[in-house]
Amino acid sequence: MPDLQRILHVEDDPSIQAVAKIALEAVGGFQVLSCSSGQDALDQLQGFAPDFILLDVMMPNMDGPQTLARIARLIDINHVPVVFMTAKVQPAEIAHYRSLGARDVIIKPFDPMQLAAQVRKIWSQVHE
């Protein structure tokens, strides 16, 4: 299994962004690039070369699904898993996100102590 090191986190809420960064770096030992918009993520995507992308669903201007569609034109999302983070987790919504190419959905609010473990679990499922 390839090593999971770099995570791109796209989230417009600065407080959630800060908590996730600390959770993933301090608890998980990952290198995290936080982007506050879909456009910001697209601009930095190829330079950062993430192994894994965490993507907020609800963002102004370009939402998570729109951002995912643009990301998929730039990189192979079969090799770089994209996971949505959202409070909207009805089964139909999760099925819709997966149909867009997302590997999984992490529910907000997330547990900062568990976030890195959730990411690792999804990573290992992708690389089984």
- Residue 117 sits in a domain of what CATH number? 3.40.50.2300
- With respect to residue 69, please indicate whether it lies within any of the assigned structural domains: yes
Q: What is the pLDDT of residues 114-126, one digit of tens each?
A: 999 999 999 999 9
Any domain includes 67: yes
3-state DSSP assignment of residue 30: coil
Instruction: Report pLDDT for 88.
Output: 84
Domain membership flag for residue 35: yes
Place of tokens 């770096």: 25
Ranges of beta strands (E only) in the chain are: 6-10, 31-35, 52-56, 82-86, 104-107
Q: Confirm whether 36 is domain-assigned.
A: yes
Domain with 21, as residue range(s), is 6-126
User: Does residue 1 surpass a pLDDT of 90?
Assistant: no
Cβ proximity of 108 and 13 under 8 Å: no
3-state helix, strand, coil in the chain (%, to 5): 45, 20, 35
| Overall domain count for the chain | 1
Structure-token match 């417009």, residue found? 12
Q: Residue 51: name the closest of 17, 104, 11, 8 by CA.
A: 8
Domain for residue 1, yes or no? no
Residue range 39-92, pLDDT digits in tens: 999 999 999 999 999 999 999 999 999 999 999 999 999 999 999 999 988 999
Q: What is the mean pLDDT of residues 20-37?
A: 98
For the whole model, what pTM was predicted? 0.97
Cβ atoms 9, 34 nearer than 8 A: yes
Q: What is the DSSP letter of 26?
A: I
CB atoms within 10 A of CB 97: 24
